[in-house]
Structure 1
Amino acid sequence: MAGLPVSPVEKVIVTYKATAAEARSNTAAAGDATAKGSETGESLAFERRLSGGAALVDLGGETSKKDLTEVMNAFRGDPSVASVEPDIRAYAMAVTPDDTEYAKQWDLFEATGGMNVPGAWDKTTGSGVTVAVIDTGYATHSDVAGNVVSGYDFISSSADARDGNGRDNNAKDEGDWNATDGECGAGSKASNSSWHGTHVAGTVAATTNNTKGVAGIAYNAKIQPVRVLGKCGGSSADIADAITWASGGSVPGVPANATPAKVINLSLGGSSATCPSVYQNAINGAVSRGTTVVVAAGNSNANASGFTPANCANIINVASTSREGNRSFYSNFGTSVDVAAPGGETRRATDTPGTVTTPENGILSTLNSGTTTQSAENYKPYQGTSMAAPHIAGLAALLESAKPALTPADIESAIKANARALPGTCTGGCGTGIADATKTVNAVTTTTPGGATFTNAADVTISDNATVSSTIAVSGRSGNASAALKVAVDIKHTWRGDLVVDLVAPDGTVRNLKASSSSDSADNVVATYTVDASSEVANGVWKLQVRDVASGDTGYIDSWSLTF
């Protein structure tokens, strides 16, 4: 316990023998406290009865060690008292990790651009949760190995897989290097192997407090490497099968997944104006099985709506921020982005591509030193929305571990609702801000007396000149709703002035949250409204109703919640 603060004792816990009047009567216990106070010269007062039947006695303020001894001796000398002990303080036992490179992981703890992770470890470290990293596979690394469970290689082309046999049960990263320019299509460049999946895996769940390397965000979670990216990337057909399998679904010709993942990380993507149905169907299936799907927004400094699977529904779409809390210069943006997380900047936008000018501002994680095939393990900083996404996947694992009843929609809503505004700038839209791990974990594990939050994070398309709605079924409440009912709304829509937003109570009563405005050309409705709903019965089906009064701009209800 070395290093814990020493707090003065202000109360004692007195357990009376079962035959004593003080064991049954609060009046008798209060009288005994007063008598012991007179005996010792202290101002003692009975405060309350504890759950085990003991009496909590207030000492009237901070008490010296000598005075405390006198008070306890007075109670111990009473034949009616079974025991007396000080009411001592306890402290969260999570400590700063002893991993040798932890001090360089600004993304976890720095106040400006970090994700406020350490405080979350007091309550959860990801135990019992498997995170599937659908990526390049896994390059053996001693700082991750202890958390790795069996995965699968879904690359169907043996040439692209570089293992000579296409799909198999070995998710080893065989390297994604390209020997010459143009080998992977016009404009492609020769490159070394990235060991990308291993870097992502380390961010999610590197072994922590092992006096080595880096700390993982959900460091007691398990990593399931699922290989889909090889030479020249990977196919949507293979990636869709990997999503299905990783979440516990059935894929023809592939053995069932013995350890289905509750979280999937997709730090990958390609250009597409719409989400391909093969992706959307696989994602919908995964979510229906209770798996949260996290996707990188993309690194083209463009609207994420043109990249997939970032433009698919039922995902958490993650933009990247820098150490200074700005949107990273390369990060995609837009109304489809849900939240941001540290992705770093190892170079400036004006630097020569491929150079590394500020490695200390990247995301440090596990890697391999091989240029083509695997060699010695090492650690290197990378930048990218590929690095931002696993921060959110790690946070999702922390939430799932802390409260297994959470649905993917609950997890998305909690992360978004508890994000903080970027301290820097984000041109184009970075969702609700930078995710805050501690605040989010505390929100899902702390119940406000008499309070509860109900959420719907299913997307609902808003068409021009039309009215749509999203419902929340509230149950288990007693009596009426609150006079300060909180209605948190996240609507993705260009020219938000076109929208009228109403809350409809179970009895049909309509309360306007937002009126239309011809002069409000900003994007998105992200707000929390306070409504006096004390005249409404709490239980029943509540409805968020959105009406688009104009044409030319469309969007969707992303999520909303009611907090009683």
Structure 2
Amino acid sequence: MDRARERIRGLSQKAGVALTLKHPLGDGSFVVEMPQPKTVREAQALAQVLAGQPGVESVGVDVWVRRQAFIPNDLHFPEQWALQPASQGVIGSARFSDAWDVGGAAFIGSPSVIVALIDTGRVRHADLEANEIDGHDFVSAGTIAGVEVAGDGDGRDPDPSDPGDYCEPDNADSSWHGLKMASILAAVTHNLQGIAGAAPGVRVQHIRALGRCGGWLSDVADALRWAVGAPVAGVPVNPSAAQVKVINMSLGSLPGLDCNSSAYGYIRDAVRAAQSAGAVVVAAAGNEGQSSVGLPAGCDGVIAVGAHTSRGALAGYSNRSSKVMLTAPGGGCPIDGLTPCDTVPIVSLGNTGTRQPQANLWRDVTGGTSAATPFVSAAAALMMSLDGGLTPVQVRTILAETARPHPAGSYCANNPGMCGTGMLDAEAAVLRVRDGPIPGGSGRSGGGALAWGWLALLALAAWRARRLHTCRLRASGGFFSK
């Protein structure tokens, strides 16, 4: 040990970093500690320097290990199959609980990343409100088929509250759709109640564009512009626009409309404005079971999301086409009928009101490509939390490249080009951001996420020893603990 300490002191001087011998390992190697935390890449760079010194046999990196997947204690998390770790064997899971561990902390979502949710508006809920902020109401005043669409007695205003979107002509109660989508994204996680959000810590900004029975695509276009700070006549600029990194639209028109047609230039230009501002735009492919998508999902650059079941089969209701970029958990029955229907669809928060908001529900269910869309938005938000310099194109590319293949023999596997590149894999996408390569380079200044526990490994030859010894280089500092 004394000879090893002397050898390591010499290496410390040559490498310019103070190394401390800790203890030998069973194979005759030594554990060595660094004074400051290092990223994995920084540790690798230092190891290469040490490997070039006389008497050094080999160099590696020692990393902190722990049980895989953070399992939150939310009451209904066991029912959230879309979030389960790979170890649970749920084929269609997007593996968010694995993704939460990738960043080196239990919750890697950053409150500086805002997902603009263009939907039916906000219903306050104790399991969500800590992670959400108000935006604006863009539902135009007026009636259609005798229905007062806004539902709140006026047109556009600063209050995005959801007064209820019930539709009497369709005999439909209020859906509380905005609440459900927001909860899938960002419900408060690990609080012994309710559900877990897919992107814990990320904030949701409610921008209301859907009222009773639906809404106008032109209102959606203005909501898109406003979200990223583009001017909208008669409306103050969004004060949170600089932090809006993702825009979620769990909505759409009837399929088959061409976004490149001059008739829909207003939505095409709004999408381009959002993308130019650096926002990732995500939209539902639609639930008509058709071989085409609606708008805005069909616009260039939009991540169009189809829906798959817990077994990875394309849901029978999901639209599919070359415009679909990938599928995400939506639940339901498979398109081919070869696997069972999901007995539990997507779990969310909810409300008991049939018209106006009443008592909150800590467990409700939903489904469809609407529900699939916030999972993709959540993955994008986690990616942007880890690397705020990512561009929309980079996020799209990484999500597409890291998607897992659909199960062999399924509709999507047998019909390439109709369901995108595969099933959303949040863990793989976040890992790609952490470890690279980033398509086209990254705006990130760091060399990678901190290793868990900030450990590194180097292998040395012990001084005056005939046999070679391995030393582990370990950084001091507190270990992460859940």
Q: Distance in 2 between matches of 1:149 and 1:308?
A: 26
Q: Which residue of 2 aligns with 1:280?
A: 268
Q: Which residue of 2 aligns with 1:251?
A: 232
Aligned-residue offset at 1:59: 2.5
- Asked if structure 1 preserves the Cα contact closer than 8 Å seen for 2:432 and 2:438, the reply is no
Q: What whole-Å deviation, never above 9, does each CA across 1:97-131 have from its counterpart, x for those lacking one?
A: 01000000001115311001112112163202100
Identify which of 195, 200, 204 aligns with 2:185.
204
What SS does the aligned partner of 1:224 have?
strand
- Asked if structure 2 preserves the Cα contact closer than 8 Å seen for 1:98 and 1:211, the reply is yes
Q: Which residue of 2 aligns with 1:114?
A: 93
Aligned-residue offset at 1:249: 1.4
Aligned-residue offset at 1:308: 1.2
Q: Normalised by the size of structure 1, how large is the TM-score?
A: 0.63
Matches within 5 A, 1:82-121: 90-91=64-65, 95-109=70-84, 110-111=88-89, 112-121=91-100
Matches within 5 A, 1:138-149: 138-149=122-133
Matches within 5 A, 1:306-385: 307-345=294-332, 360-378=343-361, 379-385=363-369
The one-letter code matched in structure 1 to 2:326 is V
Q: Which residue of 2 aligns with 1:521?
A: none
The one-letter code matched in structure 2 to 1:115 is A
Q: Distance in 2 between matches of 1:318 and 1:141?
A: 27
The one-letter code matched in structure 2 to 1:417 is E
Q: Distance in 1 between matches of 2:364 and 2:405?
A: 29
Q: Which residue of 2 aligns with 1:409?
A: 393
- Asked if structure 1 preserves the Cα contact closer than 8 Å seen for 2:199 and 2:381, the reply is yes
- Asked if structure 2 preserves the Cα contact closer than 8 Å seen for 1:13 and 1:54, the reply is no
Q: Normalised by the size of structure 2, how large is the TM-score?
A: 0.73
What SS does the aligned partner of 2:153 have?
coil
Identify which of 143, 155, 158 aligns with 1:169.
158
The one-letter code matched in structure 1 to 2:439 is F
- 1:454 lines up with 2:439 in the alignment: yes
What SS does the aligned partner of 2:78 have?
helix
Matches within 5 A, 1:252-271: 252-260=233-241, 261-271=244-254
Aligned-residue offset at 1:349: 7.6
Q: What whole-Å deviation, never above 9, does each CA across 1:220-261 have from its counterpart, x for those lacking one?
A: 000101111111211111110000011221111111111122
Matches within 5 A, 1:413-452: 413-423=397-407, 425-427=410-412, 428=415, 429-447=418-436, 452=437
What SS does the aligned partner of 1:151 have?
strand
Aligned-residue offset at 1:342: 0.4
Q: Which residue of 1 aligns with 2:10?
A: 25
- Asked if structure 2 preserves the Cα contact closer than 8 Å seen for 1:295 and 1:315, the reply is yes
Q: Distance in 2 between matches of 1:14 and 1:210?
A: 52
Q: Determine which structure has the larger helix proportion and give its number.
A: 2
The one-letter code matched in structure 2 to 1:224 is Q
The one-letter code matched in structure 1 to 2:252 is G
The one-letter code matched in structure 1 to 2:251 is L
Name stretches of at least 5 consecutive residues in structure 2 with no aligned partner.
32-60, 143-147, 443-482
What SS does the aligned partner of 2:395 have?
helix
The one-letter code matched in structure 2 to 1:454 is P
Larger radius of gyration: 1
Q: What whole-Å deviation, never above 9, does each CA across 1:312-362 have from its counterpart, x for those lacking one?
A: 1111011000011100010000111101100111x67899xxxxx967430
Matches within 5 A, 1:467-482: none
Aligned-residue offset at 1:422: 1.1
Aligned-residue offset at 1:290: 0.3
Q: Which residue of 2 aligns with 1:156?
A: 140
Work out which structure has the larger RCO, using CA pairs closer than 8 Å and 6 or more positions apart in sequence: 2
What SS does the aligned partner of 2:365 have?
strand
Q: Determine which structure has the larger strand proportion and give its number.
A: 1
- Asked if structure 1 preserves the Cα contact closer than 8 Å seen for 2:310 and 2:342, the reply is no
What SS does the aligned partner of 1:338 have?
strand
Q: Distance in 2 between matches of 1:13 and 1:333?
A: 68
- Asked if structure 2 preserves the Cα contact closer than 8 Å seen for 1:15 and 1:55, the reply is no
Call closer, same or farther: CA 1:14–1:221 in 2, change over 3 Å.
Answer: farther
Number of residues of Structure 1 aligned to a counterpart in Structure 2:
383
